[in-house]
């Protein structure tokens, strides 16, 4: 509960100070550019900062995606300015701090529970391993690049290149940001009726495990033969053991329907396994 109260304010403070700590470095780096480029870049930086600051005030999965998409951009901008000789330790340090707070598991928990019902509690699932091996960084870069390059090229009077980047890149950015937003919508949800696994990457539809069929929830044994829904995500796997088979359909990339299975044990990887087990115990589910 203490983290739930402090984390949003830590994120807001870390982001709010960037105009004072990183702003001068960005201004110096833009000093040698043409007037239109400086104007477009400055307006873009201020607009992005203001939008993200507002997002930190509204806990919601969309806000989480927005914050986690913008914070790496601030770090990249600070590093580019430093590489050109205009950076400063405060600029790099404060943008890195904002990114670190944005990526905290506790931050994710606060934001995804913003629109949740009072009697439910959501816990984010860890990012699948294949995305952590560079894929997610590439997706982020491809999504952000047209939004930055298009306006700057147009401001530099590179009309053809700017128009092409803006026209071709905008749809790509929309698709990729939507895909990244999907990571903010992968949850384990405790509800009065039991536990819901809401993971479009692993399952075709959310699955409710009624509390009457939950035999145990706890750390997975090393030799478990539970249905693996972790997507090879790193971290402590949590096993949900059931007293009866629960039908579900596994998601398959590129296919409308996946494999229908009815396991008695499933394995998943939340970002905060300890908090998941505490919540389960508080709700009277068997933990062990």
187-191: strand order across its sheet: 121-124, 187-191, 194-198, 207-210
DSSP code, position 270: B
CA distance 220 to 52: 38
Q: Is residue 247 part of a domain?
A: yes
CA distance 197 to 180: 19
Q: Is residue 170 part of a domain?
A: no
CA distance 140 to 271: 21
**Beta carbons of 148 and 41 less than 8 angstroms apart:** no
CA distance 108 to 278: 17
Backbone angles phi, psi at 187, to 5 degrees: -135, 155
Total of domains in the chain: 2
The range of the structural domain enclosing residue 78 comes to 1-115
Residues 111 and 201 reside in one and the same domain = no
Q: Is residue 278 part of a domain?
A: yes
From 49, 81, 115, the end of a domain falls on 115
From 115, 147, 176, the end of a domain falls on 115
From 115, 145, 177, the end of a domain falls on 115
Q: Is residue 154 part of a domain?
A: no
Q: Is residue 100 part of a domain?
A: yes
Q: What are the structure tokens assigned to 85, written together?
A: 């000789």
CA angle 192, 252, 111 (to 5 degrees): 40
Q: Is residue 126 part of a domain?
A: no
Q: Is residue 17 part of a domain?
A: yes
Residues 110 and 215 reside in one and the same domain = no
pLDDT (tens place) for every residue of the chain, 288 residues total? 666 788 999 999 999 999 999 999 999 999 888 999 999 999 999 999 999 999 999 999 999 999 999 999 999 999 999 998 887 889 999 999 999 999 999 999 999 999 999 999 999 999 999 898 889 999 999 999 999 999 999 999 999 999 999 999 999 999 999 999 999 999 999 999 999 999 999 999 999 999 999 999 999 998 999 999 999 999 999 999 999 999 999 987 656 567 899 999 999 999 999 999 999 999 999 998
Q: Is residue 230 part of a domain?
A: yes
pTM score of the predicted model: 0.93
Residue 42's alpha-carbon distances to 20, 55, 158, in angstroms, are 14, 20, 19
């Amino acid at each position: 509960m203490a983290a739930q109260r402090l984390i949003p304010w830590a994120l807001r403070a870390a982001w709010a100070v960037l105009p004072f700590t990183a702003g001068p470095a960005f201004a110096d780096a833009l000093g040698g550019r043409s007037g239109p480029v400086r104007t477009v870049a400055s307006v873009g930086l201020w607009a992005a900062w203001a939008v993200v600051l507002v997002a930190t005030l509204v806990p919601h999965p969309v806000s989480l995606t927005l914050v986690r998409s913008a914070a790496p951009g601030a770090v990249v901008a600070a590093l580019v300015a430093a590489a050109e000789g205009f950076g400063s330790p405060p600029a790099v340090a404060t943008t890195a701090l904002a990114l670190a707070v944005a990526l905290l598991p506790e931050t994710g928990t606060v934001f995804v529970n913003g629109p949740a019902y009072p009697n439910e509690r959501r816990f984010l699932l860890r990012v699948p391993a294949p995305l952590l091996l560079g894929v997610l960084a590439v997706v982020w870069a491809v999504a952000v690049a047209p939004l930055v390059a298009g306006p700057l090229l147009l401001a530099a009077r590179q009309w053809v290149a700017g128009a092409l980047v803006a026209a071709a890149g905008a749809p790509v950015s929309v698709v990729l940001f939507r895909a990244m937003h999907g990571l903010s919508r992968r949850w384990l949800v405790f509800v009065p009726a039991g536990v819901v696994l809401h993971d479009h990457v692993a399952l075709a539809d959310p699955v409710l495990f009624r509390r009457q069929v939950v035999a145990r929830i706890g750390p997975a044994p090393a030799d478990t033969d539970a249905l693996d829904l972790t997507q090879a995500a790193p971290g402590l796997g949590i096993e949900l053991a059931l007293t009866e088979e629960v039908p579900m359909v596994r998601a398959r990339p590129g296919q409308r329907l996946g494999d229908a299975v009815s396991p008695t044990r499933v394995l998943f990887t939340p970002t905060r396994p300890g908090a998941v087990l505490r919540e389960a115990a508080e709700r009277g589910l068997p933990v062990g």
